Structure 1
């Protein structure tokens, strides 16, 4: 059975994870929206989060006038993964940081080496 946490509390945990990102990195995140969604689209599988956009490392001087990138954090899969709120806090933190890393152009292999995959 999935852990029960209100949507408001879940969003607080996401905000707390964002607040832990060092300012010098967080200040570089631009044209990117973080969205908490209940479930991923079926074709995505049971992912915890998803980055959709052009990584900062690939943006050139031609990057302008585009819709914001999106970081999606999926509440349902995260709640099903854990059995306590302490575990949820850690998994939300890892997921948020993982997707922010994708914004910077860090791929899954590099994240795996760092313990965030």
Structure 2
């Protein structure tokens, strides 16, 4: 599903791109994702932006909400499931500004980055994982 600039996908279409990126993760990651929920919204809500100190909603393309596997303990049982949220409009804006990659590539980049937080990965590890997904 390669797109060209000018054809903005719906929330459902972007979610399908995100799910396709997750399906391309190496098996050892897919097996440990567990019940991480995937959501695609047009923008982050005001509370999420405020908690990160972000004023412009176009500056946030994705967000991991939860406890990384490296920080989990019995105290976290009964908490809400972890969630990855992608923000369609900022992703589309970044895609249009870059103009040098497919939308699917950018969505995969955001997904891998946010899933990387779930695993407690460093930025270098996230980049290596992204190379496996592309």
TM-score by length of 1: 0.81
Would you say 1:26 and 2:38 are equivalent positions? no
Would you say 1:74 and 2:78 are equivalent positions? no
Correspondence for 1:54: 67
The 5 Å alignment of 1:2-13 reads: 4-13=8-17
Between Structure 1 and Structure 2, how many residues are aligned? 113
Deviation track 1:17-58 (CA, whole Å, cap 9, x = no partner) reads 111111211111124211111111343442110011111100
Contact preservation (8 Å) 1:3, 1:79: no
- What secondary structure does 1:62 align onto? helix
CA distance in 2, matches of 1:90, 1:55: 24
Which deviates the most, 52-61 or 37-46?
Answer: 37-46
Contact preservation (8 Å) 2:60, 2:90: yes
Q: What is the Cα-based RMSD across aligned positions, in Å? A: 2.5
TM-score by length of 2: 0.72
Contact preservation (8 Å) 1:56, 1:105: yes
CA distance in 2, matches of 1:40, 1:54: 19
Would you say 1:97 and 2:112 are equivalent positions? yes
Deviation track 1:57-88 (CA, whole Å, cap 9, x = no partner) reads 0012333111111110111101111136x521
Q: Any gaps of 5 or more consecutive residues in structure 1? A: none
User: Which structure shows the higher helix fraction?
Assistant: 2
